[in-house]
Structure 1
Amino acid sequence: MATKLVFVIFILCCQMNLAQDLSKLYEDVNPAVVVILTEEKALKQVGAYSQMISSEGLGSGFLISETQILTAAHVVGVAERVLVQFFDGEIIGATVSSSFDEPDIALITLAFPKKNASVVTLGDSDRVKVGEQVFVVGAPYGLAHSLSSGYVSGRIKNGNASNPFTNSEYLQTDAAINTGNSGGPMFNLEGEVIGIVSHIKTITGGFQGIGFAATSNIVKELLLKRSIPWSGAEIFPLSEDASKLLNVPQKNGLLVQRVVRSSPYGKLGLRGGTVKATINDTDILLGGDIILAINGIRFEMTDETLKKLGDYAASVKSGDPIVLEVLREGKIIALRN
């Protein structure tokens, strides 16, 4: 009996120490977490007509320097306006520097440096093991700087390392993730960021214990080591069958969905879609430009072509010439800067 009592007391003490450690960690890292407010254009159906309207968005992110913030691609990818709200209440505008849809990660840059910035560091996600405790800080449903904790439940990795566009790696967790958490940091118990909160799997629409965060190592590789400039266009890759349906004069193309007006592709005059449709259970927009080639590199859904496009994009500097060959209303035209 005495042995059992000692064991119970030991377990309770361990839990209390863990709670105290988590509370202290939260106090240390929380000032680096930010709320991201966006405004983007969305297509709305009004009777027999459709029109583009402004839509407000909400997400989370975190500071890695006095000017740089990491977040999720779907939070800022086609945002016409990005505002960052800090722990002290200050709000600073930002622009998107780089973004990758498949791993759902993005880097944004502040309009001016944040004074007395609190920053966090990226840990080594390869060292993370299933069963480790983690915690997430973000703004679920607008409740800024909320904490949830849980465990790493698994790891999912897809893609070829030579091609940056289809690479992704996620940590699965049961830590609560809801609308507004996207882009926020997932921390280990050393206070290092090991993931960027991305999405959940759900039947009800709410959190059901299965959430995903892009790993810190995929972030380092794609956003920090070989950053590719943000294009400002949301695109949908067309399969060979879909290309035939749309009379595309080659096996594959990139169907433009939405374009940020002030972005590099927006300034070229690239046009987005105007009509909602569904192809193979996927909702898309039709009527926009279809990109056939970028600076002479003809688009194909092969690893070789995607690697060429990745190498080209990583080498682009401000002011370099850009030529897009697009299919628009049945005609092939060239868009140049």
Structure 2
Amino acid sequence: MSEHRPLLARRLRLWHLVAFDALVAAGAAAAHVSFLYVTDSEPSYSGPMWFGWLIALLSTVPLAVRRLWPMPVLVVLLVGSAVSTALNATREPWIPVACALYIVALAGQRPVAPLVATLGTLAVTIGLNVVLTPQESFWDMPISMLVFVAVVMIATWTSGRAVEARRSYATRSAQQLAHSAVNDERLRIARELHDIVAHSMSLIAVKAGIANHIADQRPEEARDALRVIESTSRSTLNEMRQILGVLRSETSDLAPAPGLSGLPELAERARHAGVSVTMTAPAEPLPSGLELSVYRIVQEALTNVVKHAGPVSCTVDVTASGQEVRISVVDSGPGGTPGSGHGLIGMRERVMMYGGTFSAGPAPAGGFAVSASLPYSA
């Protein structure tokens, strides 16, 4: 139902505009009919009154549907206005034609056909006027009016094209913003999935290898490894359900996003994988989005330690000063660069979202170091 509301709103707005055009057309028709009865010093209409009424209506009434059929309405109004002007049955500078031409320009029509049709009709009208009323000077009314009409038509077309160009630019900008928002959301979801799956699967793979290696000689240690695998799997499934629930807009019964309070659990998981983790973290809360980024950066850094450094010691230091939060993860492994996965890219992207700084590489004293600084307002 909600998908049809924008279409219904556009249709209602269109018919409101058509109703407004109908009122304008009625006013223009009344004015044109009144011109038939004008008898002043200027040349006046001298033909049959029924024919005068016919061309008056032909020159105005189609204006009511100019938004529905722009080009056909323009052609009909051009014919009616040309005949009306040539027979001295009008005293206005082709206002209905200008209104129709504006809509044609606004619809993005190519300029050649409508402009040639309009200006060509003006030329034919001038010729008819000279033939039908040869006693007039070329610059007497309505010839001088036709010159003014030509200027009005060109100005109307230019205005319509300018408005159409501005609307097209606004539409393209909105589409680009929407496309950018979709890409940003896709990257955010990809980072979340990578951080959750990579960390958990790395720990599961390490513990599964240990369990397989010592299953016969030390079954009790193998069972401990299997319990870690079970616990990690359950935790990962819960996080996956949380993300899927958000994507499906199922906002009820969702756990809060992980933050600083979840860092000790990350350290404990790494210890189960054989990494000796020493961790310090701030006690005061941080903005929720920032806490999630800190959590994911530490999670990915520990995942890389488990995957690439093995059972080594690791120091995790998270400090907050009220203006920025600093993250340092240093291990005592061989110091090689992690593989070509998306972990370091994801950490760097999270830091850049806050305009911070990020570095990762071999530490001077040996091992591998990850350092990040994320500014924020307390």
User: What is the TM-score when the length of structure 2 is the normalising length?
Assistant: 0.20
Higher helix share: 2
Larger Rg: 2
User: What is the TM-score when the length of structure 1 is the normalising length?
Assistant: 0.22
